């Protein structure tokens, strides 16, 4: 072990950092559970779709809460994910980054990711980021 500044070696027992929560995956045939709902996202099945319902403000500080749900929803083969953004008050490029990452994951697994939004503000953001063609928003969740 290398000595730390001051000469004392760092031992595992001296490490006072606490590990983060264990990772959870989306519900699948193995019986795994979806991630726990948080103030910014919750995941639920709706017919053939997995819906990730997003609410509140999604920015640099909160995008990880959304990412947890998107990662779980796109973890299985052939995911059909709907991201419901109708209850979002603010959404910035941090959220767009997570949507693009999840969309790539879904496509790599033979699935798709679509957005549900009736908010002109979000449509303008998608257009400004040149992502409107990649994520043409649906007005409501399909039946």
Residue 98 in this model has a pLDDT that exceeds 80: yes
DSSP letters, 116-139, are E---HHHHHHHHHTT-TTTS--BS
Q: Where are the domains of the chain?
A: 35-128
Residues 112-117, mean pLDDT to the nearest whole number: 98
Q: Enter the CATH code of domain 35-128.
A: 3.30.750.24
**CB count in 10 Å sphere of residue 11:** 8
* pLDDT for the residue 40: 96
107's CB contacts (< 8 A; 6+ apart) are 113
Q: What is the pTM of this model?
A: 0.77
Q: In percent, how much of the chain has pLDDT > 90?
A: 74
Scan for tokens 């040149």, then name that residue: 130
């Amino acid at each position: 072990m290398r000595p730390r500044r001051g000469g004392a070696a760092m031992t595992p027992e001296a490490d006072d950092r606490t590990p983060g929560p264990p990772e959870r995956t989306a519900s699948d045939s193995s019986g795994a559970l979806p991630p726990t709902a948080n103030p910014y996202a919750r995941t639920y099945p709706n017919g053939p779709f997995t819906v990730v319902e997003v609410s509140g403000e999604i920015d640099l500080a909160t995008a990880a809460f959304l990412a947890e749900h998107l990662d779980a929803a796109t973890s299985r083969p052939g995911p059909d994910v709907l991201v419901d953004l109708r209850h979002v008050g603010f959404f910035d490029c941090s959220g767009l980054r997570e949507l693009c990452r999840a969309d790539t994951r879904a496509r790599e697994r033979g699935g798709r990711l679509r957005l549900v939004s009736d908010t002109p503000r979000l449509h303008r953001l998608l257009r400004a980021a040149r992502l409107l063609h990649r994520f043409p928003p649906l007005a409501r969740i399909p039946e």
